[in-house]
Structure 1
Amino acid sequence: MPKFKVIAFYTGKNDQAHISFLHEANKWFAEQSQQQHFVYDTTSNWNNLNKEFLSKYKVVLFLDTRPEKAEQRKAFEDYMKNGGAWMGFHFAAFALNDSDVKQDWDWYHNEFLGSGEYVSNTWRPTSAILRIENQHPALKNIPKTFTSAPNEWYRWKNDLRKNKNIDILLAIDEKSFPLGTGPKPYEIWHEGYYPVVWTNKSYKMIYFNMGHNDIDYEGGTNKTLSYTFENKTESELTLDALLWLGNH
């Protein structure tokens, strides 16, 4: 008998870096499901985000985007408030009012994730030294600091340290600075506090800012230059987090 069932929602239409991660993640999670004896299903039909469909699954993943329709959003909120579990990556938390992905879902961005609107990011995708900030079962096999896979790192409007419901699990260590290579100066971070993995104690959830592979845009080949799950520590963290959600 499988331990639990996972359903991963994705869109896979925008940004080659996110699409590359999505394909990598689907392959990696499927392999892990065989080894760890859970069921891993995927869907790009966000209309499946409904009560009947979700009732079959212990854990929901958002690999690259979020639901946009009101009925999908309500179904997900109800699922989470009734004991469902969730893991999200990178762009799944993105919202910016001057973009195609507006911050028009307060429960998700301000209460559930706590981060609020996206503010800016580093560029190009680069590795960072990540540091453990709080104890958590997902971190049981993770060293206090480690070097991540290359990623485009996000900065958020809300200070998660001031939210009593949020446990920040990993943040960018100061040894990472300067982080990013530009060419635009504001795409290189020289200081500041940047959470990259966190949970909300009111829900069974974990968010990873990772999920953006490095792509050869400049050379015009659009080839993937880095893979997130080739980083053994990050892979261990993701697996332990999923097993925590599935068995929690």
Structure 2
Amino acid sequence: MTITERKKKKILQAIIFCITFFYWMQIVHAQQKKGPVPFKVIAFYTAQNDQAHISFVHEANNWFPAMAKQYHFIYDSTSNWNNLNTAFLSQYQVVIFLDTRPQDSIQRIAFEKYMKDGGAWLGFHFSAFALTPSSYQQNWNWYHNDFLGSGEYSSNTWRPTSAILRVEDKKFPATKYLPDTFSSAPNEWYKWKNDLRKNPDIKILLSIDTSSFPLGTGPKPYEIWHSGYYPVVWTNKDYKMLYVNMGHNDIDYEHRTNTTLSFTFSNTLQNKLIIDGLLWLGSRNKKR
């Protein structure tokens, strides 16, 4: 091979390298521009009977789509609980219960399988409610005792009022950017029969700070809390889940207008808790 031929070969190799490098960079740039694949969220709701819960569901179904655009995830919602089956749930990385929980045994089995297989869940307020006797009896031990850990509902404050919440764990993804204490949106706060502090699987993230007392306005004396320990946000270490007790708007029942007097998603710091929690649930890491 002559010197001229060797030069031509080197030039050709250089050209091929440059073309290959150019197209490789174009692919990398396109992938970076596209960003990560968005996770999908499905929210189940009932939105019946209690106007405060109905108001919250409507509010949530307006707020979450706006957050989905801002934080790049996909949000769907349905009131058809028959969709709580393995085939349907396989399309989604996160399940939300906005108010109630499934009553049908087949739906319950599908949800338990989904969670045990690595699915993620966010539950609001009434989704943890269970009381025997009532329309929502405690007849699902895995969900209320093993998964949530709270057991049956015991009592609540009235009327819906803001509380000072204390962050119990500053390292958790949903709470790491919150101040030590902050004021919540107005809410009806629940008390549970089980002491979550005694459950090694439960990690309490937020509780009601003692500076909140007395909490509630009555008129019944037992609807006003003067002392005690009340967890309001927690996770189960064995699952990718988050329960938040918020989700009960204040309603004008007295004048029978059913007008919404307060909104759950009106509080910036509380919203930070919820969206950071959802982004953690939607992440690919199956464990904390």
TM-score, L = length of structure 2: 0.85
Q: Which amino acid aligns with 2:92?
A: Y
Q: Which amino acid aligns with 1:236?
A: K
Tell me the distance in 1 between the aligned counterparts of 2:199 and 2:160.
28
Tell me the distance in 2 between the aligned counterparts of 1:139 and 1:217.
34
Compute the displacement of 1:215 (Å). Answer: 0.5
Return the match for 2:122 from 79, 87, 105: 87
Compute the displacement of 1:140 (Å). Answer: 2.0
Confirm or deny that 1:111 pairs with 2:159. no
Q: Which amino acid aligns with 1:192?
A: G
Return the match for 1:62 from 97, 106, 109: 97
User: Deviation digits for residues 184-241 of structure 1, max 9, x if unmatched?
Assistant: 0000000000000000000000000000000010121110000011100011110000
Query: After TM superposition, which residue ranges in structure 1, 4 or more long, deviate above 3 angstroms?
Result: none
Tell me the distance in 1 between the aligned counterparts of 2:201 and 2:66.
33
Equivalent residue, structure 1, for 2:58:
23
RMSD: 0.7
Question: Structure 1: which 5+ residue stretches go unaligned?
Answer: none
Compute the displacement of 1:32 (Å). Answer: 0.4
Q: Which amino acid aligns with 1:206?
A: L
Tell me the distance in 2 between the aligned counterparts of 1:187 and 1:244.
34
Partner of 2:174, secondary structure, is: helix
User: Deviation digits for residues 77-122 of structure 1, max 9, x if unmatched?
Assistant: 0000000000000000000002110000000000000000000000
State the structure with bigger RCO (CA 8 A, min sep 6), 1 or 2.
1
Confirm or deny that 1:216 pairs with 2:267. no
Partner of 1:7, secondary structure, is: strand
Tell me the distance in 2 between the aligned counterparts of 1:183 and 1:127.
17
Compute the displacement of 1:76 (Å). Answer: 0.1
Confirm or deny that 1:189 pairs with 2:225. yes
Equivalent residue, structure 2, for 1:97:
132
Return the match for 1:148 from 155, 178, 184: 184
Q: Which amino acid aligns with 1:128?
A: A
Equivalent residue, structure 1, for 2:81:
46
Percent of aligned positions that are identical:
71
Return the match for 1:78 from 113, 116, 126: 113
Confirm or deny that 1:206 pairs with 2:242. yes
Partner of 2:233, secondary structure, is: strand
**Larger helix proportion of the pair:** 2
Return the match for 1:174 from 184, 205, 210: 210
Compute the displacement of 1:130 (Å). Answer: 0.1
Tell me the distance in 2 between the aligned counterparts of 1:189 and 1:34.
39
Confirm or deny that 1:121 pairs with 2:156. yes
Tell me the distance in 2 between the aligned counterparts of 1:195 and 1:65.
20
Partner of 2:62, secondary structure, is: helix
Equivalent residue, structure 1, for 2:49:
14
Partner of 1:179, secondary structure, is: coil
Q: Which amino acid aligns with 2:238?
A: S
Tell me the distance in 1 between the aligned counterparts of 2:176 and 2:254.
39
Tell me the distance in 2 between the aligned counterparts of 1:107 and 1:29.
28
TM-score, L = length of structure 1: 0.99
Tell me the distance in 2 between the aligned counterparts of 1:221 and 1:186.
26
